[in-house]
Amino acid sequence: MSKSSLAYWQEKAEKLTIEGRAYINGGYQDAAAGQTFDCISPIDGRHLVKVSACESADADNAVVAARQAFEQGKWRGLAPAKRKLVLQNFADLVEQHGEELALLETLDMGKPISDSVHVDIQGALRSLRWTAEAIDKIYDEIAPSADDELGMVTHEPVGVVAAIVPWNFPLVMACWKLAPALATGNSVILKPSEKSPLTAIKLAALATEAGIPDGVFNVLPGFGHTIGKALALHNDVDTLVFTGSTAVAKQLFVYAGQSNMKRVWTEAGGKSPNIVFADAPDLDKAAQAAAAAICFNQGEVCTAGSRLLVESSIKEEFVGKVAKAMKHWQPGNPLDPETNVGAIVDQSQQSRVLGFIEQAKSQGGSLKQGGNSVSPVENGFYIEPTMFDNIANHMDIAQQEIFGPVLSVISFDTMEEAIAIANDSEYGLAAGIWTSNLSKAHRVAKALRAGSVWVNQWDGGDMTAPFGGFKQSGNGRDKSLHAFSKYTEVKATWIKF
């Protein structure tokens, strides 16, 4: 049976054994209080597994295990080259279990299986392998000093890291955090979203099989207001890293201040502008990219190009091209490799997205495409990719992160106006520019308050490029060597001869 067929993945799903327990100190275990929650697939409403609902006692157990492992030095005490080999082995095991992990990702949060296989698994592998390979290539420093002194600047692991990751790219976001945290010698406690915990739970056993010592990598599924809060308030967690909403990110800073002033690094919301000038080199390619920027992963992307800024002189023509391109993005069964738009993660998120669509209609937005819930699979949660024209930037649809396939078209007349509209947001995660004018591209890129700017493309870059935001899109950076600074302390040692 071909892997490119729906029947192949349906049969594989029927035979899949799913683990739902927490992973602490090298083994799976129930939550201390015995509580669970139901993991429901958004594809068709099927019950997948009961998942451990961890709380404060579980946080304590995991932190004790992580701290003991750190103090014993059984991981941080390894030479960087030896940690690299273990992490490379970890990546190999992820690759070997790639189909299983991809299927868990699709069943759990509804993304198309083709994306899970070719985007999510591959992204996780790149993160693990690139980070592992980098760790024994990074040098500490010798300070300039007198002949009778030696000044050393070293980077040491921070200790116990709690990582809270979102539901839209569960595996990739987890690896963006845990790869540099583990590479630099820390112990890690991973808290996946309650909406998509399954790949994180599976990942834990693979880490142990790869040779990561017990206690160094733990996974605590559960809810943000229980286990997430417990980790954020824990006095023996040294660093908290987070990807998710801006509202939750703000609360985590409060918890850090109420506890031990742990370092908090966040990648939060986005409302990314995609700016198309009349002199764009290829309007057809720009339109296809604009459609993909809002339709990919059902629009459940922090860098979704949700605000499409189009120069007035080409707006009518370009909107028509985008509408045509969006017709190729249609919801279907996520287990079908031909599907490019899957299910919305759950019913509450579907209702939230539909609410923004109705609000945009009431505020004067012109619905050009989509706007309805659909049912390619019975009992699932699906929404047509949607585009609104004649949107003013002050409208809710243009200011709030929707996290769904809803595009707002906003017109502008000058470069200065485009920059002003693009920057008129509390967020600053990403932005796109389409122009054939090199000077304009540089001027606009420099003026945009965003952590990533892509010229004549959307979502450019690789593991060498830092990722993170300005303003209320967060602080710190994932990916690249810049990510390592979140997981290390800088120490100055001054020696008198």
User: Hey, which residues are catalytic here?
Assistant: 267, 302
Beta-bridged to residue 366, according to DSSP, are 389
SS3 400: coil
Instruction: Tell me the C-alpha distance between 200 and 91, whole Å.
Output: 14
Query: Using CA of residue 42, residue 43, residue 44, residue 47, what is the dihedral sign?
Result: negative
Beta-bridged to residue 412, according to DSSP, are 311
**DSSP one-letter code for 478:** B
Other CB atoms closer than 10 Å to residue 4's CB: what's the count?
A: 12
Burial 281-309 (b: 16+ CB within 10 A, else e): eebeebbbbbbbbbbbbbbbbbbbbbbbb
Instruction: Tell me the C-alpha distance between 339 and 114, whole Å.
Output: 8
Length of the chain as a residue count: 497
Tokens 């958004």 correspond to what residue? 42
**Is 468 in contact with 476 (CB distance < 8 Å)?**
yes
* Amino acid identity at 293: A
| Residue-wise DSSP of 158-178 | -SEEEEE--SSSHHHHHHHHH
Residue 424 phi, psi (nearest 5)? -85, 70
Tokens 């279907």 correspond to what residue? 332
Beta-bridged to residue 382, according to DSSP, are 374
Instruction: Tell me the C-alpha distance between 277 and 168, whole Å.
Output: 31
**Is 41 in contact with 135 (CB distance < 8 Å)?**
no
Instruction: Tell me the C-alpha distance between 257 and 263, whole Å.
Output: 10
Residue 487 phi, psi (nearest 5)? -115, 10
As given in the structure block, the two tokens for residue 171 are 């595996």
Other CB atoms closer than 10 Å to residue 418's CB: what's the count?
A: 25
Instruction: Tell me the C-alpha distance between 374 and 423, whole Å.
Output: 34
